[in-house]
Structure 1
Amino acid sequence: MSKFDEIRPFYDNEVNDALRGIARDPMMKALMSFTFPDVGRQVWLSKFKNTHSISDFQSNFISYTIRKILEKSSEGLTISGFDQLDKNTPYLFVSNHRDIVLDTSLLNLVLLEQGHIMTSSAIGDNLVQKSFLHVLAKLNRNFLVQRGLPLREQLKSSQLMSEYIDQLLHHEKRSVWIAQREGRTKDGNDATQQGVLKMLAMSAGDLSLIDYFKSLKIVPISISYEYDPTDMLKMPQLLAKHRDEEYIKDKDEDFTTMLSGVLGQKKRIHINAGKVLDTELDDIATKFDNKNKQLQAIAQIIDDSIIQNYKLWPTKYIAYDLLHNSNTYAEQYTEKEKQLFMRRLDMRLDLSDAVSKEYFLAMYANPLINKIKFENNLSV
């Protein structure tokens, strides 16, 4: 027994039994039929019998699923920055978070194809309530973030997760993916929650905060979708916040959002790997001796990297101009692109509802607005 058993993914010696256990589940049949539409069921069932590691499962099955998703629901994936990373070094990828499944799945496809160490990835246990999804998550090297706990249990859970991430990076030499915040960004404002960094710092031991964070080899990840297939699904929560109301999720809302994110049209996608945080951390150590101030400064440099390296698709410029009733960025998009975006807006919203329209446009425009603020701060 390991103290991490409650949250860890499968060990390789557990993979075959776990896979056999869900092989005939209707959801697995649907997944494999989508991935290998021209292959008979017995073929992949037979291959399952010879699959004995997470790496085999990801390389021989899930990587094909992700490529099929890209083929069916996007106009392609581009990348930048990964050539600056060492292929034999485990990194802590701290990422902006827009899609429940794809953010980490696309990153791992890139890492696989580029010959880098793939990640063990954090996922909220609220997202894997269905037994099939729980097993599938563990087969994809996901570890569980326990949600909705009482305060005392929350602290214990954070300590456990911190220790597990430390174990992965420093002992198992496994890269790790975590989102910069709890839950997906709904309004387009990518910001690192200090609580995430406090959780990581719990395992610093005798090291100073800065030395420990240097040892984690943090790489900020910026992922940008031209269209967000879950844009309308995010609106009720944004509007509830606007009205200062508590938002309560529907029973199957997370599952619906997962499916929409995977199958909905995204057009172009870009993932950037920022530079490993190193000398910036030394600068923080010289400026601040207070841990909270240091954590705030680390959160800021992660945010700056994500914002600076975020790919601005035409939809961001169009939304900005529509939001401000201007043609400020008209040279950044074509009339056809603008018409397509406006048609999407028209199909999803009652345009007479000014509040909904403003929130929808801001969701797309905020990455541009944040980049403008970042560049203005640089020039001050």
Structure 2
Amino acid sequence: MTTDFIPFNRPYATGKELAYQTDALHSSHLSGDGTFTKRCHRWIEEHTGCSKALLTHSCTSALDMAALLLDIQSGDEVILPSYTFVSTANAFVLRGAVPVFVDIRQDTLNLDEKLIEDAITTRTRAIVPVHYAGVSCEMDSIAAIARRHGLRIVEDAAQGIMAGYKNRALGAIGDLGSFSFHETKNIISGEGGSLMVRDEELAKRAEIIREKGTDRGRFFRGEVDKYTWQDVGSSFLPSELIAAFLWSQLEEAQRITRERLEIWRRYHQMLEPLERRGLLRRPIVPVDCQHNGHIYYILLAPEIDRQQLLAGLKQAGIGAVFHYVPLHSSPAGLRYGRAHGELALTTALSQRLVRLPMWVGLNETQQQRVCEVLTALLEK
């Protein structure tokens, strides 16, 4: 192992995190929905156009809230890709629903909108598009399908902050959407997430569900003289310390995104010769998608041994990793869900994907080293 290890991820700090957290501490308000939480809510609402944004403990929590908001019941079905993180399915499985896995597109690795309609049954309640690597699904087509069949859309935009589709912000195109602020994401708070709600009636109920099923928010606004148990719910509020950290990141979101996109573009240029030689395929971003530089992945030629390549990169001091094991092939996926069709692309592409180091501060020299080592290994 070389001494100058290049990690896969390095959480980025703007420099204001501790100062803002100190401000929160001095405010004597450390529980949720304080000054910093309100600032984050306003920022997300203004930058996405959603009716209501609500910070949560995680993107997982936001998806859990979405399933509660839609009154998902036992036996309902929800259409989603198998190539995603387990939270996408778990949120609905916890309500007794069946995740119906549909294959992905070859270009973006997103849910293939052309296969959705055939997977719809009388039990289908929602479509859950996952915007892989911050590149949007084909949302106009998905929205048209949802309208025809009276279905809701829940966007899993865990990787999608500051990304868009036809200049509309991801996470606020469907009925409900979710962001992640996990330390591996572009904008971070260690752990954390956000629910975005487009429908104002759903927004009112979302606030109650998030506050343990009570109308506590209305009480603090002076709209009622006491708060009581109104609905199902749980504790989904992050503390002000988390919100203060997040606010320092949201203030710099434009700059962070610009820097990530520059790193992404350098990789894209450096790896073009390897793509021309047929050793790998670079990411494809459709013209209607405004991505955010979240992930730079490569798809290896089918004959290349991925595990051997990853081991070689690790030995050279480079932290490259693979990504999801498809849910439809997992023990829980087989138990709780069902695959619609063979999902041949999901299986094949997931076995060829490698994610390269990607974080703000990764410099051109480091990227050149990554690409030089990658080239040497592929040429073997």
Please confirm whether the aligned pair reaches a TM-score higher than 0.5, indicating the same fold.
no
Higher helix share: 1
Name which structure has the greater RCO, CA cutoff 8 Å, separation 6+: 2
Q: TM-score range by the shorter chain?
A: under 0.3
TM-score normalized with structure 1 length: 0.27
TM-score normalized with structure 2 length: 0.27
